Amino acid sequence: MDGSKLPGATVLVTGSTGGLGREFVRQARARGATKVYAAARRDVDWDDPRIVPLRLDVADPDAIAAAAVAANDVDVLVNNAGGGGDPSLLTTDLADIRATFETNVFGPLTLVRAFAPVLAARGGGAIVDVHSVLSWLSQPGSYAASKTALWGLTNALRIELAAQSTRVVGAHFAYVDTPMTAGLDVPKSSARDIVGVVLDGLEAGATEILADDLTAQMHAMLPTISSGAFAETAPYTGATAHDSEGGER
């Protein structure tokens, strides 16, 4: 299936109980997806037969393998689940740093490896990896480093999966008003607006989406060689009125 088309598609969203995840589920359905797998570590009643709860911990390879069997009709995979990370790479326990990378890097990679054959069998489809403006900005701790690593994986997977016609999309943005940022006194975009821009970019055929003004400004400062996009592909900038600052989703 064409990964740009949400009407008639089957979508899987990880981290579906968070603010962004719930918006991805809701808006995918509103745009015509016939089925949305709402994947999360706990069960939630969505009160909609077209939304299928799926128990999934992205740091558990066995759970991912089971999800790929149970959801073998997926056309669009949204790697949204993520963790906040710790404040220092020097003093934080290495086990905690590894846990951040398991959730933010190896979890999405394992999901892509598990669902790539499913997407290929469906005609290619698409993968959306949720990044951050911190993919490009250095900051102490494991969160920014993990998002930079995920950005690199997304760019490499885009090349590898082109052979099976699977489109790989990187979505970047700054602060969003979700439970993850509830304690931060900074301007934030709404989850509804950010998800809307990301899905607009997906349906427009973008490979890299800059979902707010700050992120677009930061990306413009990068040398072209490090943009992560094919030379002939301009990043999708759907930002208009988002006034986000800072650096994490």
Whether the CB-CB separation of 199 and 27 falls below 8 Å is answered with: yes
């905690």: which residue's tokens?
Answer: 96
pLDDT of 32 over the 80 cut: yes
HSE of 162 in the Cβ direction (CA atoms, 13 Å)? 8
Catalytic residue among 35, 147, 188, 236: 147
Q: pLDDT per residue over 123-146, tens digit each? A: 999 999 999 888 888 789 999 999
Q: Is residue 126 exposed (0-12), middle (13-18) or buried (19+ Cβ within 10 Å)? A: buried
Q: Distance of CA 154 to CAs 52, 147, 149, Å?
A: 26, 10, 9
Whether the CB-CB separation of 151 and 135 falls below 8 Å is answered with: yes
Altogether, the residues listed in the chain come to a count of 249
In a domain, 3, yes or no: no
In a domain, 246, yes or no: no
CATH number of the domain within which 86 lies: 3.40.50.720
The per-residue pLDDT for 247 is 37
H-type helices in 71-162, by residue range? 94-101, 107-121, 142-161
């677009």: which residue's tokens?
Answer: 216
């950005």: which residue's tokens?
Answer: 151
Q: pLDDT per residue over 74-89, tens digit each? A: 999 999 999 888 899 9
Q: Is 147 one of the catalytic residues?
A: yes
How many domains does one find in the chain? 1
Structure tokens belonging to residue 195: 């998800």
In a domain, 56, yes or no: yes
Number of C-beta neighbours around residue 195 at 10 A: 29
- Exposure b/e, 147-175, CB count within 10 A at least 16 = b: bbbbbebbbebbeebeeeebbbbbbbbbb
Of 102 and 244, more confident: 102
The per-residue pLDDT for 84 is 85
Catalytic residue among 37, 143, 175, 236: 143
Using the 8-state DSSP alphabet, how is residue 234 labeled?
Answer: P
Q: pLDDT per residue over 168-221, tens digit each? A: 999 999 878 776 666 666 667 899 999 999 999 999 999 999 999 989 988 888
Question: In terms of residue numbers, what domain contains 25?
Answer: 10-237
Residue 204 CA to residue 249 CA, distance in Å, equals: 23
Whether the CB-CB separation of 132 and 248 falls below 8 Å is answered with: yes
Mean pLDDT across the chain, nearest whole number? 88
Whether the CB-CB separation of 59 and 118 falls below 8 Å is answered with: no
In a domain, 4, yes or no: no
In a domain, 2, yes or no: no
In a domain, 243, yes or no: no
Q: What percent of the chain is modeled with pLDDT above 70? A: 85
pTM reported for the whole predicted model: 0.88
Using the 8-state DSSP alphabet, how is residue 59 labeled?
Answer: T
pLDDT of 244 over the 50 cut: no
